[in-house]
Homo-oligomer: A and B are copies of this chain.
Amino acid sequence: MRNLKVMTAYRGTKYHGFQRQSNALTVQEVLERAVSKVLNEQAAIIGCSRTDTGVHAREFCFNVKTESKISNIGFCRGVNGELPEDISILSCEDVSLDFHARFDCKGKEYIYKIHCSESKDPFGSDLAFHYRRKFDIEAAKKAAAHLVGTHDFASFCADCTSVSTTVRTIYSIEIENSGTSVIILVKGDGFLYNMIRIIAGTLIDVSEGRFSPDDMPKILAARDRLKAGRTAMAHGLYLNKVFY
């Protein structure tokens, strides 16, 4: 028995997220079909994370156990050959049998991408949130600074009933502006459901003056989803890196 650690990237536009669903097309289903064909056995892949409908991944890790003797490069080429254009295998390596893509993940980095311009971007209408107003980077940076660290993020969670704790640690939030793009890069040990999208939406609300940057501590303290800002649209979100 072998355990393969595989890195993949996907454009989430056409998929109902990563996790397999009985009634909608997901990335997991498409990957499992391609992997099973190449391994010539029924493969069950374990993903590092769920992602929402329309969310993208520039680096997503899964592991899969197999009896196959296929080489790592043969696996990558074979599976890539079976996959559609919007899912790509980046790498494959053998790891110990107890490696688990979800439980062993030590941290994640997400990007929220905003296209700030009067004109839409004809090359990526599904790859960034189109925002027609000016984004106030300085105000957003000040607000974001309050969120860095270990906090109870219950105000930034869409549905927290299924988790044992809403305490998470954000290592850093960087906000960069290049041309018409604003990139919000968030690195942390783990994230609650919709947490990055609510952080991004709240920073957009800060940019519009609906919140002041110094409102963040009391929004955190409230532990109430209704106190934070909007949930930013899914198609601006990318899982960018996963750390083990």
A96-113: contact bitstring with B at CB < 8 Å (1 yes, 0 no)?
A: 000000000000000000
Q: Which of A10, A76, A119, A123 has the most CB of B within 10 A?
A: A123
Decide if A122 touches B11 in the complex (CB within 8 Å). Answer: yes
Query: A1-35, CB under 8 A of B: which get 1 and which 0?
Result: 00000000111000000000000000000000000
Q: For residue A88, which residues in chain B have a CB less than 8 angstroms away from its CB?
A: 119-122
The listed residue (B76, B85, B125) touching A118 by CB distance below 8 A is B76
Query: Are A122 and B85 touching (Cβ within 8 A)?
Result: yes
Q: Which of A63-93 contact B (CB under 8 A)?
A: 76-77, 80, 85-90
Interface bracket on A: 20 to 34
A233 to chain B, nearest CB (A): 14
> Which residue of A56, A76, A119, A121 has the most chain B CB atoms within 10 A of its CB atom?
A119
In the bound complex, CA of A193 to CA of B86 (Å) = 32
Which B residues are in CB contact (< 8 Å) with A90? 119
By a CB distance below 8 angstroms, the chain B residues around A124 are 123
- Smallest CB gap from A56: residue in B: B123
Question: A11: nearest residue on chain B (CB-CB)?
Answer: B122
Question: Does A127 sit within 8 A of B, measured CB to CB?
Answer: yes
Encode A172-184 as 1/0 by CB contact (under 8 A) with B: 0000000000000
The contact sample of 29 A-B pairs, CB cut-off 8 A, is: A9-B119, A9-B121, A9-B122, A9-B123, A10-B122, A11-B122, A11-B123, A56-B123, A76-B118, A76-B119, A77-B118, A80-B118, A80-B119, A80-B120, A85-B120, A85-B122, A85-B125, A86-B122, A86-B123, A86-B125, A87-B122, A88-B119, A88-B120, A88-B121, A88-B122, A89-B119, A90-B119, A123-B124, A123-B127
Nearest 5 A/B pairs, CB to CB: A85-B125, A88-B122, A88-B119, A11-B122, A86-B122
